[in-house]
Structure 1
Amino acid sequence: MSPLLSPESPELDDVHFALLASYAKHLGRAPKAIRFATNSGERRSRQKGHGMEMLELRAYQASDDLRHIDWRVTARTGQAHTRLYAQENDHQRLLLLDLSSSAYFGTRHTFIATRFIQLAGIIAWRSKQQGDTLSYRITYGNQEHASNKSGTLPTLLNYLKDASKIENRANGSNATSIWSNTLLTNKAHNKDVIILTDKQSWNDDEESALMKLAEHNSVHWIQIIDSNVFNLPAGQYQMADNNGIKPVTISKNSMQQAKADFLSQNTLMRKKLASFGIRHQIFDITESPEKIARYLLSQGALH
């Protein structure tokens, strides 16, 4: 069995993260980057100016270069507008990883949390290898870490290693959504945002923040499930955590109700994400993190 698909332990070590670097390097070539348009009329284009790529068009500000004023739009609207540019190879990426206590579970291969962490590791390594700018915010257990600085790969990998520890299952999880109440997401603009979380619901304030994030960025939402959990035979199971082993009784009716509740909530979430313009994709725990990373590559979220 592949050490990537079924690691020896759900708690990942330095050797495993070094292995992820190799997989990240050999993902293949990215297709031509997918540009996106927002509801507000901003868009990225391949039009060049001064050796750079145009990112957006916005109202003129006092600090803007006068050479970048778009005179056609200014004449049409009666308000000065500026073209903003970025280096052609400067890909801005924001990684949001949020793991609930329920993610520290799996019936086959490994935990859902571990699969998310493996994927986050590949994203981190790939960003480093391609020279892309990676900001991140990760929450797990009672921990929260964030950074928008370059050169923080070793620190991020240490956080991911810590996030894989089973003890996080018993430490609770962040009550608010990963994209809310932070300057890192509030100021995100023209970035490829990758959300990795097992959560499926949010309140009205969190929904407004998510809509704002999707309005100004290209957002990719990755969901990983263990479909086998709904096919377990009725009976009593032994569940282990930091507090020891305890029996859990599962009946056919409780299993059917749990599946129905999940599908109903998931359908609602998918519809909402689609209405926000967020690309959502669901994967099973039996699929490798390399495959999921290749999907992100095909969508332009990785390069």
Structure 2
Amino acid sequence: MMPLLSPPSPILDEAHFTLLAHYAKHLGRAPKAMRFSSTAGESRSRKKGHGMEMLELRSYQASDDLRHIDWRVTARTGQAHTRLYAQENDHQRLLLLDLSNGAYFGTRHTFVSTRLIQLAGLIAWRSKQQGDTLSYQLSYGEQNKGSNKAKDFPLLMQSLKDASELHHRSAPSPSTSVWANNLMAQRSHNKDVIILTDKQNWSQQDDISLMQLAKHNMVHWIQVFDSNTFKLPPGQYQMADSEGIKQVNVTQQSMQKSKALFLEENTALTKKLASFGIRYQLFDISESPETIARYLLSQGALR
């Protein structure tokens, strides 16, 4: 088995996060057009500068840099023309990780929580390797940790390591989502925001905060679930949640009911996020974190 797809334990150690650095370095490159951002974080910026690609040729304006005058076109037309270039922006990224108690569960490969934490680690390493500005906010168990300082990268790695500890599933879930009542999220503008979560429900007040976040940033939403949860053979199972370990009776009817509820909630979630202008993608836990990171790369959320 691949070490990223099926780590030896859902509790990740320092060696695993070191391995993530290697995979982050070899993700490849984003499509060229995706590496240029506007205020919305998607289209190319119409700024003058020494970018890598010319956007257009237009009549010279008094504020234009003389170095960008196209002398051939000027001589041919008798009117001064200047070139506008695509300028590669300073890439600023906000990472939001929001884990419910139910994320600390898995039937194969690893836990949903572990997969999302692995992906957060890949994003962090890739941002560091590319020299991008990374802010983060992590919510798991009763913990809520965040920073917007590059020097806190070791603290981020330690927090992700701590987030994989299984005792967090016994803590009560936070009453608000990671993006709500969050100054870092409220003050984010023109950033690529990546939300990693297993959640499908939150309060109406959280909806307002999410709409504001999407209004000023390009938001990419990654949800991970375990499809085998709905394929368990009928029988008695020991399940752990915030109330401890308990016996659960699984029947074919209960599995069908759980699956129908998940699909219903997921359909509503998909429509809601689309109405906010949020790019949403659902991944099964059988997908490796490297595969998911490459998807984010193709969408311009990473570079």
- TM-score bucket of the superposed structures, by smaller chain: 0.7 to 0.9
Counterpart residue identity of residue 17, structure 2: F
Q: Report the number of matched residues.
A: 270
Rounded to whole Å, the distance in 2 between the matches of 1:45 and 1:165 is 41
C-alpha displacement of 1:243:
8.4
TM-score normalised per structure 1? 0.84
RMSD: 2.3
Matches within 5 A, 1:118-267: 118-239=118-239, 246-267=246-267
Cα distance in 2 for partners of 1:44, 1:3 equals 36
**What displacement does 1:240 show?**
5.3
Post-superposition Cα deviations, 1:43-69, rounded to whole Å, max 9, x if no partner, equal 85332325579xxxxxxxxxxxxx79x
Superposition map of 1:1-303 within 5 A: 1-34=1-34, 35=37, 45-49=44-48, 51=50, 88-239=88-239, 246-303=246-303
Identify if the C-alpha distance between structure 1 residues 89 and 215 changes in structure 2 by more than 3 Å, giving closer, same or farther: closer
Distance, in Å, in 2 between the alignment partners of 1:263 and 1:229 is 13
Higher deviation after alignment, 280-289 or 252-261: 252-261
Give, in whole Å, the separation in 2 of the partners of 1:23 and 1:31: 19
Amino acid at match of 1:150: A
CA distance in 1, matches of 2:8, 2:246: 23
- Whichever residue aligns with residue 102 of structure 1, its letter is G
The 8 Å contact of residues 140 and 163 in structure 2, kept in 1 or not, is answered as: yes
Check whether the contact 1:192–1:301 (CA below 8 A) recurs between aligned residues: yes
Q: Show CA shifts across 1:196-226 (max 9, x none).
A: 0111112221111111111110000001010
Contact 1:121 1:157 in 2 (8 A): yes
Q: Is the 8 A contact 2:116 2:224 kept in 1?
A: yes
Work out which of the two has the higher radius of gyration on C-alpha atoms and give 1 or 2.
Answer: 2
* Alignment TM-score, normalising by the size of structure 2: 0.84
Seq. identity, %: 63
Rounded to whole Å, the distance in 2 between the matches of 1:185 and 1:140 is 17
**For residue 142 of structure 1, what is the amino acid of its counterpart?**
E
- Alpha-carbon shift at residue 173 of structure 1 (Å): 2.2
Q: Is the 8 A contact 1:32 1:300 kept in 2?
A: no
